[in-house]
Amino acid sequence: MLEPPGKPITSLYVHVPFCAQKCSYCAFFSEASSGDLINRYVSALIRELELLAPDLRPGTVFFGGGTPSILNLRQWEEILSAMQRLNLLGSAEWTVECNPATVSLDKAKLLKDSGVNRISMGVQSLNEDLLNRLGRVHSREMAFKSWDILRRAGFNNLNLDLMFAIPGQTLDVWRDTLIEATALQSEHISSYEVIYEEDTPLFHQMKAVQVDVNEDLACAMYEELVDHATRAGLVQYEVANFARDRSEAPTDLLTDRGWTVPLPSHACLHNVNYWRGGSFHGAGPSATSYVRGVRTKNWSNTALYCEQLEQGRRAIESTEILSPLARAGETAAFGLRMPAGWPFEDFLRITGHDLRDEWASDLRELTSNGWGHIDERRFHLTRRGLRFADAAAQLFLR
């Protein structure tokens, strides 16, 4: 279902491309911060928001990175007052990603008072040795301290990012992190298996065979994650995402977007929009947008990004118009990352294609190997299939 031209887009992603220091595994576009470039970026970002604002009425906003919490109070104030001027405040869900090393009570309160109502904190591990190995800039103590600051600032919707299958991590060490992390009673946990991204220090260590990749251990860790999170009262609603369900009244966003799949009350609606094939605007270097079937990507170069916006135009590096079938295939693949899978009627309404026709043999293959389950209403991956969701997703791409 494509948003018609007159109807503004309801989802905004903002990329903040700076970090205090680069982690050894990370391929997100970000660089160690420098004061002047950050100031220049803030002005360019405001210019880009001005260009996007006429086509935006945000229901969800997500500031990701990089490390959005690295911006100082003055830089945040500039962005927030521009958003107020442009009518971009007041979204139902507004997430800001934080690194424990750059959280302060002043900043947390400013964000809270401005309408940010969800914080996602990258912790990765609560084991000091692993944090060092990953090149994280913070200690485990700092993670706990920042967590307390966020709670004191009044945030009641917090996410913790964790990683597993980290080189050197045993099952016992992972279990200890899960026990300590769930004891924090976060409303949400995201946890991904380490990906060896090309051109990262971790990738080069792996290539030089300094790192063991143990698939069985990674599987055991994933099982442990699902069990721990479930025992802690979190509901899995995506391969790597778990949220508390306090059965609060659903926001209008759910009905507006026509999602019929069940979601725990603290699911990240911004991310659900990606998995359901919705449109979104992206601002900032390297950000992608997907608007009415057209995908664009901004330059992954902060100086170039600033230069373009200083000249009054968007800093778009590439534009791709997907065929309706290719788009439907991607939407199928993303949506299957959710245990709820795809109700056939939803998929047809959103994409114009019937999952049971175009992908009939793929559905058969996945059900016969135990990765998928089909009934008259929907198709979804099983617990085993979710573990291999990336491989299953490949089948749907056209």
Ligand X SMILES: C[S@@+](CC[C@H](N)C(=O)[O-])C[C@H]1O[C@@H](n2cnc3c(N)ncnc32)[C@H](O)[C@@H]1O
Give the residue with the Cβ less far from ligand X, 194 or 355: 194
| DSSP structure class, residue 359 | T
CB-based contact 284:305 (threshold 8 Å): yes
Burial class (CB in 10 A: 0-12, 13-18, 19+), 32: exposed
From ligand SF4, ligand X, none, interface partner of 192 (C-beta below 5 to 8 A by class): ligand X
Structure tokens at 281: 């605007």
Closest distance to ligand SF4 from the beta carbon of 25 (Å): 7
Contact 37, 386 (CB under 8 A): no
22 or 112: whose CB is closer to ligand SF4?
A: 22
Contact 95, 119 (CB under 8 A): yes
The item of ligand SF4, ligand X, none sharing an interface with residue 158, based on CB under 5 to 8 Å by kind, is none
Give all strands of the β-sheet with 316-321 in edge-to-edge order.
288-291, 294-298, 316-321
Q: What is the smallest separation between the CB atom of 291 and ligand SF4, expressed in angstroms?
A: 25
Nearer residue to ligand SF4 within complex by CB, 67 or 182: 67
CB of 300 to ligand X, least distance (A): 14
* Partner that binds at residue 195, options ligand SF4, ligand X, none, CB closer than 5 to 8 Å by kind: ligand X
Q: Which does 333 bind (CB under 5 to 8 A by kind): ligand X, ligand SF4, none?
A: none
Other C-beta atoms within 10 Å of 193: how many?
Answer: 17
3-state SS class at 143: helix
Q: Which does 330 bind (CB under 5 to 8 A by kind): ligand X, ligand SF4, none?
A: none
Amino acid at 166: I
Q: Which is nearer to ligand SF4, 23 or 130 (CB)?
A: 23
Query: Burial of 180 by CB count in 10 Å (0-12 exposed, 13-18 middle, 19+ buried)?
Result: middle
> How many Å apart are CA 129 and CA 135, to the nearest integer?
10
CB of 27 to ligand X, least distance (A): 6
Residues that bind ligand X (CB under 6 A): 25-26, 28, 64-65, 67, 97, 99, 122, 124, 161, 163, 192, 194-195, 197
**Nearer to ligand X among residue 23 and residue 350 (C-beta):** 23
Tokens of 207: 């290539």
Q: Least distance in Å: CB of 32 to ligand SF4?
A: 9
* Residue 22, contacted partner among ligand SF4, ligand X, none, CB below 5-8 A by kind: ligand SF4
Q: Is the peptide bond before 372 cis (omega within 30 degrees of 0)?
A: no
Gap between the terminal Cα atoms of the chain: 19
Q: Which does 17 bind (CB under 5 to 8 A by kind): ligand X, ligand SF4, none?
A: none
Per partner kind, with CB cut-offs from 5 to 8 A, the member of ligand SF4, ligand X, none near residue 58 is: none
Write the CA distances from 288 to 251, 293, 317, integer angstroms. 26, 13, 10
CB 16 within 8 A of CB 66: yes
Q: Which does 334 bind (CB under 5 to 8 A by kind): ligand SF4, ligand X, none?
A: none
Nearer to ligand SF4, 279 or 298 (CB): 298
Look at the chain and count its residues.
398
Task: List residues binding ligand SF4 (CB under 6 A).
Answer: 19, 22-23, 26, 28, 30, 65-67, 99, 122
How far is CA 248 from its chain centroid? 23
Q: Which is nearer to ligand SF4, 163 or 340 (CB)?
A: 163
**CB closer to ligand X out of 195 and 322:** 195
Nearer to ligand X, 60 or 351 (CB): 60
CA distance 25 to 202: 5
Question: Smallest gap, in angstroms, from Cβ of residue 21 to ligand SF4?
Answer: 7
Query: Minimum distance between the CB of residue 263 and ligand SF4, rounded to whole angstroms?
Result: 26
What six digits make up the tokens of 397?
């791409």
CB of 24 to ligand X, least distance (A): 9
User: Between the CA of residue 361 and those of 136, 163, 332, 366, 396, what are the distances in Å?
Assistant: 45, 34, 14, 9, 10
Shortest gap between Cβ of 98 and ligand SF4 (angstroms)?
Answer: 10
d(Cα 79, Cα 17) in Å, to the nearest integer? 15
What is the closest distance, in whole angstroms, from the C-beta atom of residue 280 to ligand X in the complex? 17
What residue type is 231 in one-letter code? R
Judged by CB, which is closer to ligand SF4: 195, or 206?
Answer: 195
- From the list ligand X, ligand SF4, none, pick the one residue 194 interacts with, judged by a Cβ distance below 5 to 8 Å according to partner type: ligand X
